[in-house]
Amino acid sequence: MNTRTVLAVALLLSFPAAAEDLTGTLKKVKETGAISMGIRESSYPLSYLDDGQKPIGYHIDICNRIVDAVKAKLALPGLKVEHQPVTSQNRIPLVVNGTVDLECGSTTNNEARARQVAFAPTTFVTNVRMTVKKASGITGISQLAGKPVAATTGTTSVQLLRAHKKAQGIEFKEIFGKDHADSFLLLETDRAVAFVLDDNLMAGLIATSKAPGDYAIVGEVLNVEPIAIMFRREDPQFKALVDDTVKAMMKGGEIDTLYAKWFLSPIPPKNVNMNFAMSEQLKLLIQAPSDAPAEAFNPKQ
């Protein structure tokens, strides 16, 4: 190989991957000039709408950083970001069918879902519990017999409640809301005596409700759940970019800063401070990032 050939090869290797070398989501985004971000409308404070109907929240901020990394990778500073509202029921199908490229809501990473989609390193850890009105006097699962219990369609909350050892032999009526705000309304209007959901999301719903002092998060922990940003499976290029971006944010302290912004400071629209301290599990995951599913956090009962 002569000197000219060596220089030509070196020059080619120094350039970023050409468009035809891209695969999966990055190829799609490069060709269309747009990326679709799945957002939730009432998953406080991970992903929700402000007074101007703009998506904001902890996971929205993280996803915006991932989008910045996509722009840099593809040299597309003018990349269009399309916001696609999703629900608990349709979020996975919309990722699988290509409608949503990056789901930035409140999705639990578990083994069943990981057979359909991929997850970024865990950026939040929550406990599934129930919220009640304080006046009801309900403090645990054993008091739910014969009563209506609310959950959001497409979540695993009711299954987790029924599977808990303290729920054995207790019959309750399931009623479902189309999203978290709708489910909370069932509790607020006394159509349900309890609402089962991730404790951080519940804290956000309570904080932004008409009478925050009326509610309490109570009872047994039904599941410890790693929450992560979701995207399509079998897309190693995009997963590498997402994972590297999230890990860099963890290593550089940006995740800690965003957590303080959304969980420990006043947030829109009512400037309420959730005062929701970071869990020990999340602190450990920031030090050693992982995309392990919920089953790794929950020994079988």
Nearest Cα neighbor of 132 from 144, 116, 123 is 144
Q: What is the mean pLDDT of residues 67-76?
A: 98
- pLDDT bucket at 20, cuts 50 / 70 / 90: low
What's the CATH code of the domain at 192? 3.40.190.10
The per-residue pLDDT for 301 is: 53
CB 179, CB 134: distance < 8 Å: no
In tens, the pLDDT along 87-140 reads 999 999 999 999 999 999 999 999 999 999 999 999 999 999 999 999 999 999
pLDDT greater than 90 at residue 69: yes
Q: Is a pLDDT exceeding 50 seen at residue 18?
A: no
Mean pLDDT computed over 52-71: 98
In the chain the beta strands, taken as DSSP E runs, fall at 34-39, 42-43, 47-49, 55-56, 80-85, 102-103, 117-119, 124-133, 148-152, 173-177, 194-198, 215-227, 230-232, 266-267, 272-273
Same-domain status, 211 and 87 = no
Rounded to an integer, the average pLDDT of 141-158 is 92
pLDDT at residue 157, rounded to an integer: 87
Alpha carbon distance 71, 172 (integer Å):
50
Q: Does residue 1 lie in a domain region?
A: no
State which of 198, 225, 252 marks the end of a domain: 225
Judged by DSSP in three states, 43 sits in strand
Confidence of residue 162 (pLDDT cuts 50, 70, 90): confident
Domain membership of residue 9 (yes or no) is: no
Does residue 107 belong to any structural domain of this protein?
A: yes
Q: Is the pLDDT of residue 17 over 70?
A: no
In this structure, the answer to whether residues 24 and 117 fall within a common structural domain is: yes
Please give the Cα distance from 163 to 148 (Å, whole number): 17
- Residue 4 maps to a domain: no
Statement to judge: residues 221 and 232 lie in one domain: no
- Kindly state the tokens that stand for 185: 């309304």
Q: What domain range is 235 assigned to? A: 19-123+228-296
More confident residue, 190 or 208: 190
4, pLDDT greater than 70:
no
Asked if residue 189 is part of any domain, the answer here is: yes
**Furthest CA-CA distance within the chain:** 85
Tell me the Ramachandran region of residue 33: left when phi exceeds 0, alpha when psi lies from -120 to 50, beta otherwise: left
Tokens, residue 167: 């729920």
